[in-house]
Amino acid sequence: MRMESHFLPLVPFLQACQRRGHEVAVAAASDLAERVGRTGAAFFPLSHPGDGGLGPLWARLRSLPEEQRTGFVLGDIFAGAAAGAALPGLVEAAERFAPSIIVRESAEYAAVVAGDKLGIPHARVAITSASKDAELLPHVIPFLDRHRVALGAPLDPSGASIANEPVLTLFPEAFGGPALGRAELLRFRAPRAEAPPLPEWWPSGGGDPFVYVTLGTVAGNMEAVRDMYRVVLAALAGLPLRILFTIGAALPLESLGDVPANVRVERFVPQDEVLPHARAILCHGGSGTVIGAVAAGVPLVVLPMFADQPFNAERVAAAGAGLAVPKEGATPETLRAALTRVLEEGSFRQAARAIAAEIAALPLVDDAGLALEHLARA
């Protein structure tokens, strides 16, 4: 089970530390070794439950009411099974590497227990736009305390270790942020180079507005949401738009059915190269895509499916930078209507541009390296 989407939010902060001359190591599931290697960081492989270990949990998840699923994923899967499998290797890696600070992403919980066990400070990179930590923490605490007992780490029944953990984020204030305990919240922005011209994918439709569509890199692995690709294509068919639809590496092309003439399908395109050209974006609400869109001043239609995506969709809609279409109510007609509205009503683009200006005023993520130095000494 590859979790590259959980590693990518850490990369800007990893690179910021490297630029300040720090030695950096990444501990993660072994299938991320190649991706981590491209950053130049040292790599420590960790155990992972895999599809065999998580299969029964995913099956149980499908039987739960929608309102219980996020708590189950964060508690039973991430804080429970995944953290439990990773912890022995993570403690060993931390003892060998002896870091001054451990930086984790929001859904990685083994680092909290390992850091507290070894007396190493830890911070997190927030990968969700609006924190629901106070609501979700009770789902996590029981599993972490079981791991603490097994490792001989101090118990934390109130969850104070997470509640007071420093937070680094690329999300702007307009999207809210962690509001839990006494956590210090540090906001940054990623550097963005000027985008190259779009490839000439639509020789006969060069004057139509360009729209970027993506459902991320993970959804194509999941049978439960694969039908949504056909729903999206049906919504796009016949619109006077040039549409780029990136589908990731795992989705079988034949599962798409007939691709409309106005849609170009690619496995992957660096989004920073296409977002600035877009009049609108239709996406799943993953953090990287949402941040990239509003940083470019582009409004969104968000079709959230799991994980942090519903939270991000809520914040996009609340900020006026786009519309959210719940997966349960998504049809070609509802998606087409939402996209048409976002393209035609200028208020969405104005809100997205206002957030882009807010992001542009934040310090560059390069400053995060210095911030982590200070946190390590605190």
Per-residue pLDDT for 1 more than 60? Answer: no
Give the Å distances, CA to CA, from 17 to 197, 208, 215, 366, 373. Answer: 32, 43, 31, 8, 9
| Alpha-carbon gap, residue 178 to 292, rounded angstroms | 20
Q: Are 245 and 265 in contact (CB under 8 A)?
A: yes
Q: What is the pLDDT of residue 306?
A: 74
Closest by CA to 212, choosing from 276, 288, 278, 158, is 278
Per-residue pLDDT for 129 more than 70? Answer: no
Considering the domain architecture, whether residues 177 and 245 belong to the same structural domain is answered as no
Per-residue pLDDT for 224 more than 50? Answer: yes
Considering the domain architecture, whether residues 46 and 160 belong to the same structural domain is answered as yes
> Can you list the positions of beta strands (E) in 223-262?
242-246
Angle formed by the axes of helices 83-97 and 110-118, to 10°? 40
Per-residue pLDDT for 205 more than 60? Answer: no
Task: Kindly state whether residue 197 falls inside one of the protein's structural domains.
Answer: no
**Coil, strand or helix: which one is 111?**
helix
Structure confidence at residue 193 as a pLDDT band (50, 70, 90): confident
Task: Kindly state whether residue 229 falls inside one of the protein's structural domains.
Answer: yes
User: 305 vs 150, which has greater pLDDT?
Assistant: 150
Per-residue pLDDT for 80 more than 60? Answer: yes
Task: Kindly state whether residue 260 falls inside one of the protein's structural domains.
Answer: yes
Considering the domain architecture, whether residues 372 and 356 belong to the same structural domain is answered as no
Could you identify the residue written with the tokens 């007396």?
119
CATH number of the domain that 172 lies in? Answer: 3.40.50.2000
Task: Kindly state whether residue 242 falls inside one of the protein's structural domains.
Answer: yes
> Can you list the positions of beta strands (E) in the chain?
25-29, 42-46, 102-105, 122-125, 167-169, 185-187, 210-214, 242-246, 263-266, 280-283, 300-302, 322-324
Considering the domain architecture, whether residues 42 and 158 belong to the same structural domain is answered as yes
| Alpha-carbon gap, residue 114 to 27, rounded angstroms | 12
Q: Which domain holds residue 226?
A: 210-360
pTM value is: 0.86
Task: Kindly state whether residue 127 falls inside one of the protein's structural domains.
Answer: yes
In the chain, the percentage of residues whose pLDDT exceeds 70 is 93
Q: What is the pLDDT of residue 212?
A: 96
Considering the domain architecture, whether residues 129 and 37 belong to the same structural domain is answered as yes
Considering the domain architecture, whether residues 348 and 367 belong to the same structural domain is answered as no
Task: Kindly state whether residue 195 falls inside one of the protein's structural domains.
Answer: no
Considering the domain architecture, whether residues 220 and 355 belong to the same structural domain is answered as yes
Q: What is the pLDDT of residue 180?
A: 66
13-22, 116-125, 184-193, 358-367: least confidently modelled range: 184-193
Q: What is the pLDDT of residue 136?
A: 80
Q: What is the pLDDT of residue 83?
A: 96
4-13, 77-86, 203-212, 351-360: least confidently modelled range: 203-212
User: 5 vs 81, which has greater pLDDT?
Assistant: 81
258-281 pLDDT per residue, tens: 889 899 999 988 899 999 999 999
Q: What is the pLDDT of residue 5?
A: 74
Task: Kindly state whether residue 201 falls inside one of the protein's structural domains.
Answer: no
Q: What is the pLDDT of residue 311?
A: 83
Q: Are 85 and 53 in contact (CB under 8 A)?
A: yes
Q: What is the pLDDT of residue 117?
A: 97
Considering the domain architecture, whether residues 164 and 226 belong to the same structural domain is answered as no
Considering the domain architecture, whether residues 165 and 216 belong to the same structural domain is answered as no
| Alpha-carbon gap, residue 200 to 217, rounded angstroms | 24
Closest by CA to 290, choosing from 185, 130, 171, is 171
Domains in the chain, number: 2
Task: Kindly state whether residue 29 falls inside one of the protein's structural domains.
Answer: yes
Considering the domain architecture, whether residues 264 and 296 belong to the same structural domain is answered as yes
155-176 pLDDT per residue, tens: 999 999 998 999 999 989 888 7
| Alpha-carbon gap, residue 353 to 296, rounded angstroms | 7
Q: What is the pLDDT of residue 220?
A: 47
Residues 65-81 have a mean pLDDT of: 89
Per-residue pLDDT for 21 more than 50? Answer: yes
Considering the domain architecture, whether residues 352 and 372 belong to the same structural domain is answered as no
Considering the domain architecture, whether residues 131 and 216 belong to the same structural domain is answered as no
